[in-house]
Amino acid sequence: MYSFYDETLIRLGLPLEQTTLPRVVLYYNAGVFVEGHKGLLSCSEEKITFRLNKDKIGISGKGLKIREISDRQLFIRGEVSFVGVVDE
């Protein structure tokens, strides 16, 4: 079974790179897909923070909602204005 990211590469006809590195994919300003997260730290409609290896990643915006979450994957919908490493 392929991950969401791998399936996207296959559909685009791009080479599949098997890696254990975390992946963060921003879909314009409509959402964010994260593969390889290490846990959710905080969640509100304006900011979602989670652990990615040793870093804390913050997503800011408006109307943020977690659409899917599993032990390794996270999909967030909403108007995204910032994705990056945060120091909290």
Q: Within 13 A of 45's CA, how many CA atoms are on the CB side?
A: 2
Instruction: Give, for all 88 residues of the chain, the pLDDT tens digit.
Output: 667 767 777 788 777 665 556 888 888 878 999 988 999 999 999 999 999 888 899 999 999 999 999 988 999 999 999 999 998 6
Q: What are phi and psi of 56, to 5 degrees?
A: -105, 125
- Does the pTM surpass 0.85? The reply is no
